[in-house]
Structure 1
């Protein structure tokens, strides 16, 4: 009788554990700026390779138009196209006053980001979760007067490649999850974008930084284990855009737009010396003249804003000026003379393979050893909402695109006897 009672108690405990309500999972979103989809193919990356075994991998993902840091990151965290969220450039600008604010200063300017679209941090907070942004674009702004629970912002001229600091940042984020019960943290790294710009995507230094990133992913996984988060933390690793080699003289003639029109006479505002994407505000009554002149320039395509292809998801923007210019892959836009020194760049058409980027994910809600077909980055938002059990804001993504990455219902398959069978055994025992 005593043995039967002991067996009964053991089986009852198993049933109680099996029936225990599932605790909300936590989510870490990691972005490595400028990590092109194939950067791990010419470098030994054991930790990234292991992620493909222990989690899910997409062949590549397509960023939005524009393939620039702030617009792309904000599409990921809002699930909205650029024409909807209106973060249309890395630089805050005003076409009336000719204001142009550098990228890292723009990260602090709420008036650039707060255009009526709520990012996931705020949506999650409004539903009772704790969120944080560590260097992530958009995290330093307030939305409808509400700030992200915890924010770390990069200072101007802050070095992006300090591996000691990378480890410290991961340790900090892990403590937020394990000791302070944060639910969503977004973590941004400025590499390999910087080295891609400075040295080009084919340079040995780019390969060196990819090895450093691979090492930090290994460090991240150890930190997850040491903080006892393996059963509760899902991790998504992605990026904002790719990188391509800039074509330089003497091989090609670089684009200098002032050769084809007098910018001083015909334009009242422009941002043109900024990679492969440019904007122009013609002077009153000169729009057609500007359009015609730029149409004669080689190695670029010029659009009137209201004639931009619908697939770009830019044409409805109220913030973009009337003329949008996009260079052919590898050609930088120069306004009056050549000032651009980068050996690599982005901002080009998102259909170009050099603009595609990475997606990896692992954790208790993700399948293992699963290779996904490519998808657009806009679909990451509903996936994150699913993982956090958050009711999403209106968005343009679709969970149908990414739900195959998850175990059925977003939870891992569990081994052991089904509850009904355990109950039957209990009845027999007693």
Structure 2
């Protein structure tokens, strides 16, 4: 009898150290939600009971660092591909072509596959190629085709569509949750355009921004209630994140504003430019004029100018083929003006991703996540391998690492704890025999 019991105990110990196979592991689904422009500390000056509850019931990161560039399209595409901007080549919110002078705004690019499809596969397509069913609701990049493949279902945000309608926000949640519960989707990405819009229009310190954060908090509460109502608690993991932060535009006296034409003749020296777009600017010098342009811009205040191939390695931009030869990054809070001061935003982003005002949020909850777990800060590029792990799929080539986020997950350690408890119980029986 004792020998048989010892053999059972040995089997228990061995089983405790082995991961569950795909055949025996419970299949979970994933909802990725992005609130555009949600700075890492926006919930610290507002009462947010539902977000606070998530910190107890799930995982919270102190903050996450978006890629350079701290813009909506580049950052979202880094999240959904796990690649740096120089690899996926979505290098701006605007679709542009320096040879034809084409410039399209962010929402006009959302269905333009030639802007998004540069050889890097986003998670939707990688998951579909492994038998999963995926959808995108307004998420940047979701409306494009990749190597001829479309996402199973994609709703694209239309030009002029309002971003702050709370009733519509709840309807969107009901829609995507029905895709999980009624149509068996495995991965859905959901995008909201706030608090980015209010941050631009009013500034990050304005009371209206705080109202939107309260609205987001209520929406998070509605999301959790709706998950429970549809019986998805045990199978649906949820990640809440964002693309960049927001900072106050300093609005100093006009003499301190950056007007680049004061330092070089743009018509004479540049053949292409996007400069009146927050804190990040790009410029193509005319043939033979690159050094002259660089030297002139180096004398301008409140900015740093780079030759593309000489940018710091930490930017992960130098190897981009799509970026023009000259890149300009303004100091925090200063906007780049080309010829005239036309900028009206009271808040903006696009600045160096090392600035705390550019950091953003990360929350996660569901059956695969630990409770009451506070994560150290990490780069948003690491979200991708985490999502692949949650979906139990092989990731495409990426720049992230699961080692950065795997401590958030319930896994072998929890099984070991349960097995050890069983072992101790059986040992107590063994000693009484």
| Both proteins in one fold, TM over 0.5 | yes
Q: Determine if contact 1:364/1:412 at 8 Å carries over to the other structure.
A: no
Which residue does 1:427 correspond to in 2?
none
Distance 1:410 1:230, change over 3 A: farther
Which residue does 1:265 correspond to in 2?
268
Does residue 223 (structure 1) correspond to residue 226 (structure 2)? The answer is yes
Which residue does 1:155 correspond to in 2?
158
Once residues 35 and 104 of structure 1 are traced to their aligned partners in structure 2, the CA distance between those partners, rounded to angstroms, is 19
Which residue does 1:78 correspond to in 2?
81
Q: Which runs of 5+ in 2 are unaligned?
A: 1-19, 428-433
Which residue does 2:136 correspond to in 1?
133
Q: Deviations over 1:324-382 (max 9, x none)?
A: 00000000000010111000000000000000000000000000000010000000000
Residue 251 of structure 1, CA deviation: 7.8
Matching residue within 89, 94, 100 for 1:91: 94
Residue 249 of structure 1, CA deviation: 3.3
Does residue 113 (structure 1) correspond to residue 120 (structure 2)? The answer is no
Does residue 174 (structure 1) correspond to residue 163 (structure 2)? The answer is no
Distance 1:410 1:382, change over 3 A: farther
Matching residue within 141, 145, 149 for 1:146: 149
Q: Deviations over 1:297-337 (max 9, x none)?
A: 00000000010001100000000000000000000000010
Once residues 338 and 423 of structure 1 are traced to their aligned partners in structure 2, the CA distance between those partners, rounded to angstroms, is 77
Q: Determine if contact 1:407/1:413 at 8 Å carries over to the other structure.
A: no
Residue 198 of structure 1, CA deviation: 0.1
Once residues 346 and 239 of structure 1 are traced to their aligned partners in structure 2, the CA distance between those partners, rounded to angstroms, is 13
TM-score, with structure 2 as normaliser? 0.91
Residue 137 of structure 1, CA deviation: 0.3
Once residues 291 and 168 of structure 2 are traced to their aligned partners in structure 1, the CA distance between those partners, rounded to angstroms, is 51
Distance 1:394 1:409, change over 3 A: farther
Pairwise CA RMSD: 2.1
Once residues 181 and 118 of structure 2 are traced to their aligned partners in structure 1, the CA distance between those partners, rounded to angstroms, is 33
Once residues 88 and 128 of structure 2 are traced to their aligned partners in structure 1, the CA distance between those partners, rounded to angstroms, is 19
SS of 1:30's equivalent in the other structure is strand
SS of 2:103's equivalent in the other structure is strand
Which residue does 1:408 correspond to in 2?
411
Residue 22 of structure 1, CA deviation: 3.1
Residue 24 of structure 1, CA deviation: 1.1
Larger deviation, residues 112-121 vs 413-422: 413-422
Q: Determine if contact 1:56/1:366 at 8 Å carries over to the other structure.
A: yes
SS of 1:394's equivalent in the other structure is coil
Once residues 373 and 423 of structure 1 are traced to their aligned partners in structure 2, the CA distance between those partners, rounded to angstroms, is 38
Which residue does 1:338 correspond to in 2?
341
Distance 1:189 1:287, change over 3 A: same
Once residues 25 and 286 of structure 2 are traced to their aligned partners in structure 1, the CA distance between those partners, rounded to angstroms, is 61
Q: Determine if contact 1:113/1:138 at 8 Å carries over to the other structure.
A: yes
Matching residue within 167, 172, 180 for 1:164: 167
Distance 1:234 1:313, change over 3 A: same
Q: Determine if contact 1:109/1:141 at 8 Å carries over to the other structure.
A: yes
TM-score, with structure 1 as normaliser? 0.91
SS of 1:270's equivalent in the other structure is strand
Which residue does 1:308 correspond to in 2?
311
Once residues 343 and 298 of structure 1 are traced to their aligned partners in structure 2, the CA distance between those partners, rounded to angstroms, is 20
Residue 188 of structure 1, CA deviation: 0.3
Distance 1:23 1:414, change over 3 A: farther
SS of 1:155's equivalent in the other structure is coil
Matching residue within 233, 244, 248 for 2:247: 244
Distance 1:329 1:221, change over 3 A: same
Q: Determine if contact 1:110/1:142 at 8 Å carries over to the other structure.
A: yes
Distance 1:417 1:324, change over 3 A: closer
SS of 1:111's equivalent in the other structure is helix
Residue 41 of structure 1, CA deviation: 0.2
Once residues 84 and 331 of structure 2 are traced to their aligned partners in structure 1, the CA distance between those partners, rounded to angstroms, is 22
Q: Determine if contact 1:366/1:411 at 8 Å carries over to the other structure.
A: no
SS of 1:357's equivalent in the other structure is coil
SS of 1:136's equivalent in the other structure is coil
Residue 204 of structure 1, CA deviation: 0.2
Residue 21 of structure 1, CA deviation: 2.8
Which residue does 1:189 correspond to in 2?
192
SS of 1:361's equivalent in the other structure is strand
Which residue does 1:31 correspond to in 2?
34
Which residue does 1:9 correspond to in 2?
none
Once residues 388 and 426 of structure 2 are traced to their aligned partners in structure 1, the CA distance between those partners, rounded to angstroms, is 35
Which residue does 2:17 correspond to in 1?
none
Residue 408 of structure 1, CA deviation: 1.9
Matching residue within 376, 384, 389 for 1:386: 389
1:56-71 map, 5 Å: 56-71=59-74
Does residue 275 (structure 1) correspond to residue 285 (structure 2)? The answer is no
Q: Which runs of 5+ in 1 are unaligned?
A: 1-17, 425-430
SS of 2:252's equivalent in the other structure is coil
